[in-house]
Amino acid sequence: MWKILCGIVVLVTILVNQLAEARGVRRRRGLTLQLDNYLSYDGIMQYLDELALSHSSRVTLKDVGRTYENRALKMAMITNGDGRPGKRVIFLDAALHSREWMTPAAALLTIHKLVVEFAENSDLLTDYDWHIMPLANPDGYEYSRNTERYWRNTRTPNGGNCFGTNLNRNFAVDWNVGFPELKDPCDENYAGSSPFSEVEARTVRDIMHSLVESKRAVMYLSLHTANRSVFYPWVYDTAPVSNQKEHDEIGRFVADRIFRSTGTFIKTWQYAKYAGTFGGTSMDYALVAGFPLSFVFEMSGTGRDHVEYKFFPPARDIRHLAEESWTGIKAFAEKTIEKYPPSRVISYSPKVKLPENGAPRNWGFSSMAGTVCLCFIYLTN
């Protein structure tokens, strides 16, 4: 048994040394984000893993859930490395709707800007941390990429050869209220068998509640395409939110920054007054969970040739559109930090509580991996 363990330790030692050497090379050369094509799920996970290795003092990668098809839901937790606990947090997710391929690209570029290009963006991390889920619906994303391009939902079976739930209809704010398609298990608007029936929605929900309970939550920002809009709550009701002027001011600031940078016109709306009311959205839920600010950023899908490609801009336009989206995301952050400095007291008053059915997580190592790690630490110190 000890011979086997020692053999494993030797192999691990070799692997760790190789990883350390590779990490040193990446640090010297800088980690490159590939935006010449749409990355696969594996490509996105590989980039995140490499980033966490090469910049371990400023980014921690959390495996926060597992999908129906057993893909990891990962969140990058980004700091400036100063070790100051309890900073306020901007929470960003992407690809709740799987066919919106540009959103993971923009989320990854945001991570890259905050971590690899930290020197140019350090002001965004002085008093705030960022928590980013760049791929919130990996099962649907891979199905959209490989099988049915316009697929929007998860891949959980609904019976009767119908699959998938619309994650942005699965949150517990007026769930299943609005129009008949929400109840149709074969429709792309299907709201699910119950609120938070989907592990992906439960995972986002649990992160929201954790941030509110720790009094760190400030802004929730969900990336979508391709309506060229900044939306704020409510979706389920036409009544204004209590800080509507603040939401509107931030939205207009973002729109103005993008227009000045690229000439793209971005609309700013309370969603219900733009497209009518319905329930179950993550944006509305973030606000009732206790976030002071909650937005959807509907990014552009228009190429440099002025053609509207909506969900699937050609590969040549990915970097341009991701950079444009970063301009908007950075503006969201700058205005949020200005409006909510550490000196401003936030009174958290969530209107909903975290239910018992939390998302399954994999926070630790297996016992064998732990044993090997301990052996390695012992032998190398």
For this structure, is 298 an active site residue?
yes
The answer to whether 84 and 342 have CB atoms below 8 angstroms apart is no
The answer to whether 226 and 299 have CB atoms below 8 angstroms apart is yes
- Number of neighbouring beta carbons within 10 Å of residue 219: 25
DSSP code for 234: -
CA distance 82 to 171: 35
CA distance 344 to 290: 16
Burial class (CB in 10 A: 0-12, 13-18, 19+), 101: buried
The answer to whether 198 and 156 have CB atoms below 8 angstroms apart is yes
- Of 15, 97, 20, 115, the closest CA to residue 61 belongs to 115
Q: How many CA atoms lie within 13 A of 174 on its CB side?
A: 13
Q: Looking at this protein, which amino acid is placed at residue 242?
A: S
Dihedral sign (CA 332, 333, 339, 345): positive
Residues ≥6 apart with Cβ < 8 Å to 178: 236, 276, 277, 278, 279, 280
CA distance 324 to 72: 28
Tokens of 248: 């509107």
Bridge partners of residue 77, in order along the sequence: 60, 131
CA distance 255 to 265: 7
CA distance 213 to 184: 35
Catalytic residue among 50, 298, 338, 356: 298
CA distance 320 to 106: 10
Bridge partners of residue 266, in order along the sequence: none
- Of 144, 59, 68, the closest CA to residue 103 belongs to 144
The answer to whether 100 and 225 have CB atoms below 8 angstroms apart is yes
For the annotated catalytic residues, the residue numbers are: 298
